Amino acid sequence: MKRRDLLSLIGTVAGSAVMYQAATSLGLAAETTYKGPIKLDGDAKGASILILGAGVAGLVAAIELRKAGYKVQVLEYREKAGGRSWSLRGGDTYTELGGFKQTVGFDTGLYINPGPWRIPYHHRAVLDYCHRYGVALEPFNQVNYNAYLHSAKAYGGKPQRFREIQADYHGHVAELLAKLTHQNALDGTVTKEDQEKLLESLRAWGGLDKNYAYAASLDSSNVRGYEKAPGGGVNGAPVPSTPASLSDVMQGGLWRFLGMGLRDEFQSTIFQPVGGMDQFPAALARQVKDLIRFNTKVTEIHQDDHGVTVTYTDTVKGGAPQTAKADWCLCTIPLSVLSQIKLNVGPKMANAISAVPYEAAAKVGLQFKRRFWEQDEAIYGGISFTDLPIAMIGYPNSGYGSPGKGVLLGTYVFGAYAMEYTAMPPEERIKRALAYGAQIHPQYTKEFDTGVAVGWHRVPWTLGCHASWTEETRAAHYQDLCQVDGRIALAGEHASYITGWQEGAVLSSLDAISRLHQRVVTA
């Protein structure tokens, strides 16, 4: 069983608190420790620092270190800042490893976020920087009860509304527990008074009728939806819908998806930057744009007792290798890339850098001629989940009701399916996304316009989605990775317990520069 499936199952059965503790033990989640803006007190003594990478971690470090009086240089591999916090829009070009070049054909104002696409309400560091530098935010709808849950092996392959599956699952569980209560099976565990309150709550929570049965009724339909909704006039009376049997609910397996919204990082409120996730790093980059040198590929990092020398090449102009020097270095290059760069650090940090693989992931963005999911199916934002290889369909959380074209996240997969997708040429990934998605939305075939596909192990500047720690590798290497080695410190989501999230990148950066700063002021 995959970790994500396991966590979803734990969340469904045992609740979000237990799931979140399990996720933390696997190194997938942790509550943010951000308490407010960093204070780098003390004299920087005119020290200089090289920051490698202008992703979120590098940009935050550049802003705060310059404020503290450091001489800052930033070397960035790409032609713009942001790293994995990235958006693709119409007219953009993207070339991945293997030479596959894609030109995005989306209409003006439409985009896809290949990397981060959500900011949970408790990622306080990211939200603080957004507020500080004027990044407009809007709600991201994680759970849409009118979206679909789909399995090719259940309900004849017909997608079911999220609310129907959730209502049927809750309803049957509530009925079973009510029966146990009536049979006095809970005596000795629950007091008589609490049993009465429990029955009352089960009836409300599960949509049970007056006999505590989960059956076709106005009570259950008020939760799962009606066969014919209440209306006006002489034919306005509602017609109750018929719940699926407990066997159908369990055998279909769609209950596995119900736990996604219970996960701590997916509980409301969730945000997204207006206009694309790249608006966040773009706002940070504006504060330090004069410090960044773009199109630089780092080939060697060397330190001695006096400072750090970084050798790099210009990826656009070419020419002979060049060098940049500073007293200190903060390296935010992903470990998947850093492990291939010549670097003289101690054996503990070197082993840590080499010990952490990167998660496989793939996304496909699909533009359609009209927003049929809204017009035909009343799905406004949120996510439909499926056991097909595309894993999910994400609907845009802005521009509701807009005429004209719209863009869906047509695939977001991890693990084996992601490796399979990444091995395909981009056009084949798009074809697969269309073929699978049409099993949920038949409109795909007629309405498709254009698409773009990103397989993260082919992304040149990261070679994978995010760091993939295990309990064993964290115990053996995490502290060694986070220590300052001579004049070099590392930062990024890989140096956090919130891997795969921008919050982890920001917090690791603030932690690293705080410890570097202490070395400088006490030297």
Using one digit for the tens of pLDDT, what is the confidence trace for 363-406?
999 999 999 999 999 999 999 999 999 999 999 999 999 999 99
Q: What is the pLDDT of residue 139?
A: 96
Write out the residue range of the structural domain in which residue 418 sits.
88-146+268-273+359-458
Crossing angle of helices 124-132 and 502-522, rounded to 10°: 80
Average pLDDT over residues 37-61: 96
What average pLDDT does the structure give for the chain? 92
Question: Which stretch of 35-39, 195-199, 359-363, 393-397 has the lowest confidence by average pLDDT?
Answer: 35-39
pLDDT at 12: 45
Around Cβ 442, how many Cβ atoms within 10 Å?
A: 12
Please report whether residue 125 resides in a domain: yes
Confirm whether 1 is domain-assigned.
Answer: no
State the pLDDT confidence band at 1, using cuts at 50, 70 and 90. Answer: low
Task: Tell whether omega for the bond before 269 is within 30 degrees of 0, i.e. cis.
Answer: yes
Alpha-carbon gap, residue 431 to 450, rounded angstroms: 11
| 421 occurs within a structural domain | yes
- Does residue 396 form part of some domain? yes
* CA dihedral (437, 441, 446, 448) positive or negative: negative
Q: Residues 495-505: what's their mean pLDDT?
A: 96
Beta-bridge partners for 366: 408, 451
Amino acid 21: pLDDT: 43
Q: Report if pTM > 0.85.
A: yes
Inform me whether the pLDDT recorded for 429 exceeds 90: yes
Give yes or no: residues 397 and 437 share one domain: yes
Confidence band of 2 (pLDDT split at 50, 70, 90): low
pLDDT (0 to 100) of residue 129: 98
Token pair of 105, please?
Answer: 């054909």
Residue pLDDT, tens place only, 452-492: 999 999 999 999 999 999 999 999 999 999 999 999 999 99
First to last CA, the chain: 51
Name residue, tokens 């409109």.
443
CB-CB contact of 186 with 201 (8 Å): no
* Number of Cβ atoms within 10 Å of the Cβ of 221: 22
366: CATH: 3.90.660.10
157, part of any domain: no
Average pLDDT (114-137) is 96
Q: Please choose, from the candidates 37, 280, 285, 289, the residue with its C-alpha nearest in 3D space to the C-alpha of residue 136.
A: 280
**Residues 336 and 388 placed together within one structural domain of the fold:** no
Let me know whether 63 and 95 are in one domain. no
Q: For the residues of 368-386, what is the DSSP string, one character each?
A: ESS-HHHHTT---SSEEEE
CA-angle at 173, arms to 171 and 179, nearest 5°: 100
Domain identity same for 440 and 370? yes
Q: What is the largest CA-CA distance in the chain?
A: 88
Task: Determine the pLDDT at residue 265.
Answer: 82
Total count of domains within the chain: 3
Domain membership of residue 15 (yes or no) is no
For 7-11, 59-63, 191-195, which range has the lowest pLDDT when averaged over its residues? Answer: 7-11
Query: Does the pLDDT value for residue 18 go beyond 90?
Result: no
Residue 326 lies in a domain: yes
Position 36 scores a pLDDT of: 82
